[in-house]
Structure formats: structure tokens, C-alpha cells
Amino acid sequence: MRDDVHLSQLASVGQIAAGIAHEVKNPLTAVKGFLQLLKESHDEMYVEIAQAELQNALGTLENLLHVAKPDLENEPKQLISLSVELQSLIHLFQDQIYRVQIQKHLSDTEACVYGKKNQLKKALFNLLKNAFEAIPEKGTITIQHQVENEMVVVSIEDTGTGIPPEKISMLGTPFFTTKVEGTGMGLAQVFSVIYQHGGQIQVFSKEGEGTKFVLSIPLETTKLTHGVIRMDLQVREGE
Ligand code: ADP
Ligand code: MG
């Protein structure tokens, strides 16, 4: 193993351990306190607050588990046009268009990937959300969808803050965040899902200029090859 790879893995392990410790310790400490209050006052209100805190801790662990073992989510695979999904996801950010201009180049709506629709939508949403959050005031987000070498390629580019080079290797590590209110789980979900679909992720970023995430996922079908794919799907359904 190369030293720099080893070091960045150690840094990631530390990041994850600190993240779990922080995210789980806080709610558990609160539960401990509320149980003490319950003992003293017998007020049932403290039971409800303690339950909510426990739910927070469980939520953190569940998120982490989904990233580590995405197969546990047994969502069936289906044909999905990422272009169509992007189109509808953009509407969720309507309240931002007064400050962020969106440029869309969404070609090949008939080009599909074969995968877990909710998971892929969540990944695209996480990337869009990060792009909006990276733009402090006004800026532009450029979204492209095209087919290249039998791959569906989606790129989401923002004119935001950019990412310092030393932080690039931390992207996708659970709990890595530079935001006050961040969870550091967004990119971990993106990386996990895209790799699970046999895809790749590239990141291009320059501080002060912006960031571009490029996803490539194997093309499953286009309108021209529907007949062939129907046969292919029958085989898969019997698996
Ligand atoms: P969160 O958004 O909760 O911080 P993410 O996993 O989505 O967690 O992102 C991790 C970190 O990666 C962010 O805190 C930010 O520092 C960096 N990052 C991700 N996307 C971008 C982007 N488009 N521009 C600048 N920084 C980004
Ligand atoms: Mg995020």
C-alpha cells in the first residue's frame, strides 16, 4: 500500500470514528440526563424527549449502515432516465432561483440506466444540494446529461467556493463536513450508490471558482434498443 493512500485511509477511519462518537454520544448523554430527571420528578414528558434523542442516535447509525451496506435496501432495480429525474429534482430548488441560475443541457432522455431509482435520485439530490450550498450569494449551476462510450454521464457544476486540494481525498468519507449544520453523509451516499451501480465519480474543483462532479453509469438502453433490453430484463427477473 502506498504511504499516502494508507495515511488518507487512517485519516478517514479517524474521521468516521470521531463522527460516530460525536453523533451518538450527544443524544445518549441527553438520554442519561433525562432519565435522571425522570427519576427525580416522575414527569412522563422526559420519556418522550429521551425517546426522540434515542431516535436521533439510531438515525445516525442507520444512515451509516446504508452507506456501508447499500444492498440491505432491497429496492428492486428498474430502467431509469437520469435526465427525466434531474428535470424533476430541479423543481425542488425553486426557492433558490432568485440567486442561482440553472443551465440545463439534458439530452438523450431515452437513455436509461438500470438501477435503484430512489437511491439514484437521492444521490442526484445530494449533489444538487451541495452545489446550491456551495454558492454563498449569486452563481450558476450547470447540469449536463449525455451518453458517451456506452456510459450515461451526468455532470453538476457550480460556481461556488470550490474545495481545497487537501480536502479532496476526504470527500465521500462519512461525517466529513465543513458546514456548521452539515452531516457529512451526502457524498458518502453518492459514492456508495454510484459504485454499487458499476459507475465512477470524478471531481474537479478550484478554490474560489467552483466544483464539478461527473458521474458515469453504464448505459442500459436507448429507444433504439428496447427490443433487446426487454429480453435482457426477463433474464434478470428470474435471478
Ligand atoms: P454535508 O453537505 O452535510 O457537509 P456532504 O457529504 O454532502 O456533507 O459533503 C461533504 C463536504 O464536501 C461538504 O461539507 C463540503 O465541504 C464538501 N463539498 C461537497 N460538495 C461540494 C461542492 N459542490 N462545493 C464545495 N464543497 C463541496
Ligand atoms: Mg451535503
Q: Say whether pLDDT at 37 is over 90.
A: yes
| Cell numbers linked to 161 | 467556493
| Cell numbers linked to 228 | 433487446
Which tens digits make up the pLDDT trace of 178-190? Answer: 999 888 989 999 9
Closest-lying ligand to the alpha carbon of 190?
1
Q: So what's the ipTM on this one?
A: 0.99
Which tens digits make up the pLDDT trace of 43-87? Answer: 989 999 999 999 988 988 887 877 777 666 678 999 999 999 999
Residues 84 and 45 sit within 8 Å (Cβ to Cβ)? no
pLDDT of residue 163: 97
| Cell numbers linked to 147 | 451518453
Q: 117-134 and 82-90 are packed helices; what angle lies between their axes, rounded to 10 degrees?
A: 50
Q: Which residue has the cell 502506498?
A: 2
pLDDT of residue 61: 86
**Cα 163 to ligand 1 centre (Å):** 8
Q: Say whether pLDDT at 124 is over 80.
A: yes
**Cα 86 to ligand 1 centre (Å):** 19
**DSSP-derived secondary structure letter, 39:** H
DSSP 179-205: STT--S-HHHHHHHHHHHTT-EEEEEE
**Cα 132 to ligand 1 centre (Å):** 10
pLDDT of residue 239: 40
Cα within 13 Å of Cα(20), Cβ side = 12
β-pairing verdict for 151-158 and 200-206? unpaired
Closest-lying ligand to the alpha carbon of 210?
1
Mean pLDDT score of the chain, rounded to an integer?
Answer: 86
Which tens digits make up the pLDDT trace of 196-237? Answer: 999 999 999 999 999 999 999 999 987 554 444 443 444 444
Name which residue sits closest to atom 26 of ligand 1, judged by CA: 163
**Cα 97 to ligand 2 centre (Å):** 19
pLDDT of residue 17: 82
Ranges 13-22, 75-84, 114-123: which has the least confidence: 13-22
Can you tell me the distance from the alpha carbon of 73 to that of 165, in angstroms, rounded to the nearest whole number? 34
pLDDT of residue 66: 76
pLDDT of residue 232: 42
pLDDT of residue 236: 46
**pTM of full prediction above 0.95:** no
**What are the residues facing 147 on neighbouring strands?**
152
Residue partners of 135: CB distance under 8 A and separation at least 6: 99, 100, 141, 158, 159, 160, 161
pLDDT of residue 178: 95
Residue that wins the pLDDT comparison between 110 and 12? 110
Ligand 1 nearest-atom number relative to CA 156: 23
**Cα 113 to ligand 1 centre (Å):** 26
Residue partners of 227: CB distance under 8 A and separation at least 6: none
Residue partners of 97: CB distance under 8 A and separation at least 6: none
Q: What are phi and psi of 45, to 5 degrees?
A: -55, -35
Residue 155: which pLDDT band, with cuts at 50, 70 and 90?
very high
Residues 200 and 215 sit within 8 Å (Cβ to Cβ)? yes
**What sections of 107-238 are H helices per DSSP?**
117-134, 165-168, 186-196, 226-237
pLDDT of residue 71: 66
Which residues line ligand 1 at a C-beta cut-off of 6 Å?
A: 126, 130-131, 134, 158, 160-161, 163, 171, 176-179, 182-188, 211
Ligand 1 nearest-atom number relative to CA 213: 23
Name which residue sits closest to atom 8 of ligand 1, judged by CA: 184
Can you tell me the distance from the alpha carbon of 74 to that of 77, in angstroms, rounded to the nearest whole number? 9
Which of 130, 181, 185, 193 is the pocket-test mutation for ligand 1 (most atoms within 8 Å of CB)? 130
**Cα 23 to ligand 1 centre (Å):** 18
